[in-house]
Amino acid sequence: MTSELKVSLWRGGQSGRYQVFSVPQRENQSVLDVVTYVQRHLDPSLSYRFACRVGVCGSCAMTVNGRPRWTCRTHVSKVVKNNGLEIGPLENLPIIKDLATDMTGFFEKWRDARGAFIPTKTRQHEIETIAPGSPARLAVNAAIECINCGVCHAACDTVRWNENYLGPAALNRAWTLLNDVRDGGNRERFEAVAASGGCHACHSHQSCQEYCPQALNPTASIAGLKRRTAQAWLKGEIRIRGRESKA
Amino acid sequence: MIARTARHQDYRKNLHRSDLLWLAALLHRLSGLGLAAFLPLHFLTLGLAVDGEARLESFLRWSDAPAVKIGEAVLMFLLAVHALGGVRLLAVENLAWHEGQKRNAVLAAVAAAAMAIVFLVWIF
Amino acid sequence: MNVSLYIWQRATAAIMAPMILMHVVVIFYATRHGITAVDILARTRGSMGWGVFYALFVVAASIHAAIGIRNIVAEWSPLDDRAAGIAAFVFGLVLLGLGLRAVAVVTLP
């Protein structure tokens, strides 16, 4: 007789309740398999997100037993407690329904941190040669594999406490662009991350680095931003703009 | 098989808060708050000497009590842990990234506690 | 917290690190060499060196603590950034006032 998992799933929006389901336990089972089983066999009204199922898209991130993780890459046997699992949507984002969150705010912060590449050359120019071993390129390499899954954003205390804070993912991306020698947007980027709610709001709790499924280190990227913006500000290269706080 | 549902509530799942670096950050913040609350009292006490030694002296004799001495050792711990934790943060933010943050956080707390205990023995 | 507040807070922290070490040494020394009011004041009264040292310490601590309080109020209370800034500024002034007064009282002859 197969044993059964007691799986608590969040139902509803920002206010709701946990609903408990019994799911057959298998030897090889990811948390995503469990959620999928519930939706297909027990309650088709359950809402959740996934896409690739193999750990390259970041869509299936949820809170599992209190920690934000990719559910497709979390083996049930590694997280099960007393034969049970508690699964909810990612924190620090508005809940659409059940296990699905609204990522709009996450991407707005990406935009606000100037996390987009600003080109300086056209096809008429020579291709920029970038030495793979250059310090700037190495800094980019260490931080570039972010797939915007939102786990770091969900894990961050400062995101939770400070609604103006741009967050580890947006700041990490800003850092990679700062070190991209082809990019021409650094002045605006400095000012974006030097303002209130920018990189200096980070307290270096390192939860982002602890939970990132890609083993990235936004704490280190943000430390780099702190150093560079401090130097730029002391040299008078940037002005701080106020960021309106929502009362 | 669908079992019962729990009571209606707000989704405010507290993240698993036994992470060591979270505890270090909390200790840093609370020790700073404690020191900030203590400082005005410290300044007012020293200011008692404005009219001569008598009022300062009577306060100092009150502070001879063992309970107060323990309180002083606690304050020394707060000062040391806040300063050492702060040095750890300055290192994270200004030096090249180095591993061992959890170890450094533990070392800071242990060193601060040791110093406070030495102080307690010293003043008794 | 922006780049300007950050620099002030980290700079005052760096300045205070060695000052705290000195202060701890002073505390250990004083507790063995007499901490009656007469003993303390005999060491501090008329000492320009200690006056300057502790005046600087008070200034740095007032700035550092005010910015720290600002962060805590902004993040942990319902007050917004502007209100937190005002509260912190007032607190910093209180510390500065009480602190410099204390330094003056114990070091001026």
CA distance A84 to A102: 27
Give the ipTM of the model, two decimals please: 0.92
Query: Token pair for residue B18?
Result: 């036994």
Predicted pLDDT of residue B5: 57
Min CA distance, B19 vs chain A (Å)? 8
B9 assigned to some structural domain:
no
> What is the number of helices (H) and of strands (E) in chain A?
10, 7
pLDDT confidence of B7, banded at 50, 70, 90?
Answer: low
pTM of the model: 0.92
Best of A11, A65, A160, A206 to disrupt the B interface (most B CBs within 10 Å) is: A206
Pairing of strands A84-88, A4-12: parallel
Query: Nearest by CB to C2, which of A162, A195, A246?
Result: A195
Predicted pLDDT of residue B16: 55
CA distance C64 to A229: 20
Boundaries of every domain in chain C = 3-107
C44-78 pLDDT per residue, tens: 888 899 999 999 999 999 999 999 999 999 999 99
Q: How many CB pairs under 8 A join A and C?
A: 40
Domains of chain A: 4-101 (3.10.20.30), 104-234 (1.10.1060.10)
The predicted model gives A189-209 an average pLDDT of 95
Predicted pLDDT of residue A246: 33
Closest CA to B93 of A190, C92, A219: A219
Q: Does B23 touch chain A (CB under 8 A)?
A: no
What proportion of chain A, given as a percentage, has pLDDT over 90?
A: 91
B101 assigned to some structural domain:
yes
Q: Is the pLDDT of residue A240 over 80?
A: no
Residue B40: give the domain boundaries.
Answer: 20-123
Q: Is the pLDDT of residue A115 over 80?
A: yes
C77-93 pLDDT per residue, tens: 999 999 999 999 999 99
Best of A23, A83, A204, A209 to disrupt the B interface (most B CBs within 10 Å) is: A204
Domain count, chain B: 1
Q: Does domain C3-107 have CATH number 2.30.130?
A: no
Output the domain CATH number for residue B71: 1.20.1300.10
Predicted pLDDT of residue B62: 86
| B93 contacts A15? CB cut-off 8 A | no
Give residues 48 to 107 of B whose Cβ lies within 8 Å of A.
89, 92-94, 97, 101
What average pLDDT is seen over chain A? 93
Closest CA to B47 of C35, C101, C52: C101
What proportion of chain B, given as a percentage, has pLDDT over 70?
A: 90
Give residues with Cβ within 8 angstroms of C48, minimum separation 6: C107
CA distance A39 to A47: 8
| Cβ atoms within 10 Å, residue A202 | 28
Q: Which residues of A touch C2 (CB under 8 A)?
A: 194-196, 198, 200, 240
Query: Token pair for residue C40?
Result: 């303390």
B110 assigned to some structural domain:
yes
Closest CA to A152 of A109, A197, A97, A100: A109
